Copies of this chain bind each other. A is one copy, B any other.
Amino acid sequence: MATPVYSGARTAQRGRPRDASRDDALRRAALEVMAEVGYRALTMDAVAARARAGKATIYRRWESKLDLVIDTCTQLAHQNLPEPDTGSLTGDLREFLSGFAAFLSGPIGKAAQALVGELPHEPELAVAFRETFLTTQRDVLRRILERADERGELRPEAPRGMAVELAGAALIYRLMLTGDPLDLPFVDRVVDQVLVPLVAEGHQLTGVELT
């Protein structure tokens, strides 16, 4: 599901029209509550109360708590990924990954983490989640590598897919598993020690251990 349900192109729209401003109010309330108490402890009653809405108003738009949360995240995710074009591979990576890191460090990152545990048992959620948090980011990275390739910065046999995967993995592993901060020094190390050596022409593996 993961999108407010509208009764699909109906015949001439009878009755009182749905108040679109409630969508936002409810999503905002859901995000606030989830940021405060986490996904598990989020209750529909709490969301409804915070938005001063009836529960039916929620269920008219989303089929379940999960559905509401997915949509809330998706909505916010689509507008926050920068696509830099600095002219150099290193610059593009640094800029994009630091933006993505900042994005993940906010409330949406917490929400995303809350959803991870549900993925194996909620196929629809899994699809939506991957679309929102993985595919989009992966596509931007792929285009960055492509442009670098056109500029001749990449070695021919560079493992582009692995680089893309590692970039995401490194950030999300920190965010969700170790709990270490997604700060700029870390992004720099990922770029300089891993990604650039992995794919760029003429690079020696000369990373310096910084910890």
Query: Which A residues have a C-beta under 8 Å from some C-beta of B?
Result: 37-41, 110, 113-121, 126, 130, 133-134, 155, 157-162, 165-166, 168-170, 172-174, 176-179, 189-190, 193-194, 197-199, 203, 205-211
Q: Are B205 and A197 in contact (CB under 8 A)?
A: yes
Starting from the known contacts A39-B117, A162-B190, A166-B166, 7 additional A-B residue pairs (CB-CB under 8 Å) come to A119-B179, A130-B178, A157-B208, A162-B193, A162-B207, A165-B170, A197-B198
Chain B residues within an 8 Å CB radius of A39: 117
- Residue from B120, B160, B208, B211 in contact with A110 in the complex, judged by beta carbons closer than 8 Å: B120
A interface, over-half SS: helix
Chain B residues within an 8 Å CB radius of A170: 165-166, 169
Chain B residues within an 8 Å CB radius of A205: 155, 158, 197-199, 203, 205
- Residue from B114, B130, B159, B172 in contact with A193 in the complex, judged by beta carbons closer than 8 Å: B159
Complex: A161 Cα to B38 Cα, angstroms: 31
The smallest beta-carbon distance between A45 and chain B, in angstroms, is 13
A113-B116, A166-B166 given; A198·B207 CB < 8 A:
yes
Chain B residues within an 8 Å CB radius of A176: 116, 119
Complex: A178 Cα to B134 Cα, angstroms: 8
Complex: A39 Cα to B179 Cα, angstroms: 21
A110-B120, A116-B117, A198-B194 given; A206·B173 CB < 8 A:
no
Complex: A134 Cα to B180 Cα, angstroms: 13
